[in-house]
Every structure is written in structure tokens, then in C-alpha cells.
Amino acid sequence: MISFVQSNANGGAATVTLDGVTAGNLIVVGFYEVKYDASPSTLSCSDGTSSLTAVAESDGTYVRWRFFYLLSANSGNRTYTISGGGKGPSLTVMEFSYTGNLSLEDYSNNYADYTTSITSGNVQPSGPSLVIGGAISYAGGEYSSCQINGVAYDGLKSYVDLTDWPPMWYRIVSSGFDGAATCTTASAGWYAASAVSFLEQAAGGGIPPWMLSRTRAIQHLMVR
């Protein structure tokens, strides 16, 4: 069973902290920033002991979003640090516990210009799964109506919980679907959005790349 434990966010900084992290839990970090360079540098994320695995980036016209994850967290008070970001990086982090084996199942990235409707593009979790969405919109204003597959989130985090800071939200689902992480902004903006899903299976399980679609399998192997 997958369960939410805690979250935190930091705006305009390359670090974010969690206190009392439990060893073996899942950590997911969402990185976002306005791009001050047309060719963003290579990013990495660490908790001071282990490097987190990067998911492919959503690289929009003016903004970008990227997920990092650690399937087996290191315990204690932890600071998650992004290296290689630009002038204004921001981070959101979430911790989840689970009882089986957890693996990256799917992800999707999307971006568009001058719109109020944000979508990550579809992911295809098979369940039981954790699905997380994240988005940043340049000039979009306040965010609202954050959903996954058309259903309101189970939990959401933004910097100091303000609606005008980019959100990261999740749902824990028991069955599969083919759908996107979506939200709305008050004004038209230039956005980048991502969704990622993690599959929980009984001990000894796992999702090999050949179970994914051909395109997803290639992407999965390239990211690893």
C-alpha cells in the first residue's frame, strides 16, 4: 500500500528539506524554473548521500519542469539539492511509504504557449500506482483545478501553499487508466508540465521495459 508521508517546497532556491525521513521510502522531487538560457544546463539532484534518478524533462519555451526520484530513501533530516539550475530554481519534494516493490512505470511531458489549460500528456498506470503531476506557467497567474485523469488530487503542494506558485499534486490509484495531469491558470501563459507514475507490486515483482509501449520502452532505457 502506498501512503503519503510529508512534503515541502522552496521557492527561488536550489535546496529543499524534509525532516525525519524514513529509510526505504520513496522520495520525489519536482524541479522547475523560468529559463534564462535558451540551452539549459544538465541537472542533477542529491540528498547528500545518494543521487536521485532523473526523469526526462519537460522543456517549454520559457520554463521547464523535471522530476527526480529515489526509490529507497536515506533516513533522517535530508536536504535535496539541485545542481546545474539557472538563476531562479525552485523545488518541491514529497515522501511516500509503500509495502511492496515500487518501480517507475510511466511518464509524460508536454508544453504549450499562451493558454490557460495545462496538460502533461497521458500516462498509463496499471495500478495500484502513485501518479504525480507538476506544472509551471510563465505569466499564467494563479493555478486551480489540479486533477489527474479528470479526478481531483489526493494531495497538493506549492511554495508556502500559495496558489500563484507552481503546484505538484498526486493521486494514489488502485486501477489503471490512460489520462493526464491537468490544471488551469487564471491568465494565458507559457507552460511546461509533467506526469510520472510508480507501480507497486508484491515482493519479487517489477516492470521491465518490454512491458511498456515501444516508445515508452526506448525513453525508459534512455533515462536510465
Each residue's pLDDT, cut to its tens digit, for the chain (224 residues) gives: 999 999 999 999 999 999 999 999 999 999 999 987 766 678 999 999 999 999 999 999 999 999 999 999 999 999 999 998 777 789 999 999 999 999 999 999 999 999 999 999 999 999 899 999 999 999 999 999 999 999 999 999 999 999 999 999 999 999 999 999 999 999 999 999 999 999 999 875 445 544 554 445 555 455 54
pTM tops 0.75, yes or no: yes
Sign of CA dihedral 57, 221, 81, 143: positive
Please, which residues bridge with residue 169 across strands? 133, 156
Q: Using an 8 Å Cβ cutoff, are 4 and 132 in contact?
A: no
**C-alpha to C-alpha distances, 66 to 99, 132, 177, 184, 203, nearest whole angstrom:** 26, 12, 23, 19, 29
Which residue range forms the structural domain that includes residue 40?
Answer: 3-223
Domains: count for the chain? 1
Q: Are 116 and 140 in contact (CB under 8 A)?
A: yes
- Spatial distance between the Cα atoms of 32 and 159, rounded to a whole number of angstroms: 12
